[in-house]
Amino acid sequence: MTVKDLAAFLNVSFEGNGEIDMKRVAPLDEAGPEDISFAQGRALKQAGESRAGCIIVPPDFANDAKRTILRAADPRAAAARVIAKLHPAAVPEPGIHPTAVVATGAVVAKSASIGPLVTIGAGARIGERTSVGAGSTIGANVEIGAGCTIHPRVTVYRDVSIGDETILHSGCVIGADGFGFVMAGGAYEKFPQVGRVEIGSRVEIGANACVDRAALGVTSIGDGTKLDNMVHVGHNCKIGKHVVVAAQTGFSGGVTIGDYAVIGGQVGVGDKVRIESRAVLGSGSGVLTSKIVRAGEVMWGTPARPLREYLKQLAVLSRMAKK
């Protein structure tokens, strides 16, 4: 695809040779004459040394070397769109593999792709253009929307609904029982977990992540939210829209997370915590039970506290250690 065509596709301006044919997207330090790359922030210093045929840069980039460039407000986001254009994902053939087992009453769209050794429970509904990878299990009364990608060996328990264009990576377990027990007569007895899980559209859930069903009611994940590998979402959690959660983070039961919150890796969140919209929790933080993280606040440490306070305490400890 030529530079000129890519500029039209992105609706951005270009400078230099618009007829260069771009074959791939590559990192700045590895790109060659047929590759397009991107640069922003500190990486702009490397742009002059790169062999890339074209570089996506911010609008204010000084093109002193008269290179072929695309100017975009967000070079990284533009590069993501170019990657999808030049490196399109393989589209599986529609149809149901002969080894798959589809229960009576399940409805699979004609354009869906059901892989080898998949099992689909009674009353389940699989939407148009959705693919279910080899060895996955889709439980009874599960609803999966259009254009979803369920990678191999995913388990979706009964009574789960998933919106459109959602991606579940290998090893995901959606709808397992929450960790609910009551002490009776000196022993723990299971509190029946009879609720549901509802996952919105354009959600992505990483490998080996777990989303537990509600004890009563609903565990929900809003549109556009992204969960990294090995994230655990406990029963009755309500995660808003466009939330980002890094790997190995765990949410206890009843946690509420507002839209656009950002949660770092290895964060532990206690029962019934409320994390408001656009709050940020730094990696390794711990939030105690029933605490509230206010909207837009940046928190760090265990117990989590405002970043400025956390940094001051680190400075004090550092001075004490030197005495």
CATH of 154-308, one of 1.10.4080.10, 2.160.10.10, 2.30.300.10, 3.40.50.720: 2.160.10.10
Q: What is the pLDDT of residues 2-49, one digit of tens each?
A: 999 999 999 999 999 999 999 999 999 899 999 999 999 888 888 878
pLDDT digits (tens, 9 = 90+) for 74-103: 999 999 999 999 998 888 899 999 999 999
Within 10 A of 6 (CB to CB), how many other CB atoms are there? Answer: 23
DSSP character for 44?
G
Given a contact cutoff of 8 angstroms between Cβ atoms, the answer to whether 294 and 275 are in contact is no
Nearest Cα to Cα of residue 301 among 268, 252, 255: 268
Which residues are identified as catalytic? 235
Q: Which residues of 221-253 are buried (b: 16+ CB within 10 A; e: fewer)?
A: bbbbbbbbbbbbbbbbbbbbbbbbbbbbbbbbb
Q: What is the mean pLDDT of the chain?
A: 94
- CATH code that applies to domain 3-86: 3.40.1390.10
| Digit-coded pLDDT (tens) for 110-164 | 999 999 999 999 999 999 999 999 999 999 999 999 999 999 999 999 999 999 9
For residue 112 the two structure tokens come to 């869906």
Residue with tokens 């990608």: 149
Q: Which residues, in sequence order, are CB contacts of 75 under 8 Å at separation 6+? A: 38, 39, 40, 56, 57, 58
DSSP 73: S
- Per cent of the chain over pLDDT 90 is 85
- Categorize the per-residue pLDDT at 181 as very low, low, confident or very high, splitting at 50, 70 and 90: very high
Which one-letter amino acid corresponds to residue 219?
Answer: T
Listed ranges 29-33, 40-44, 242-246, 301-305; the one with the highest mean pLDDT? 242-246
What are the boundaries of each domain within the chain? 3-86, 154-308
Q: Do domains 3-86 and 154-308 have the same CATH topology?
A: no
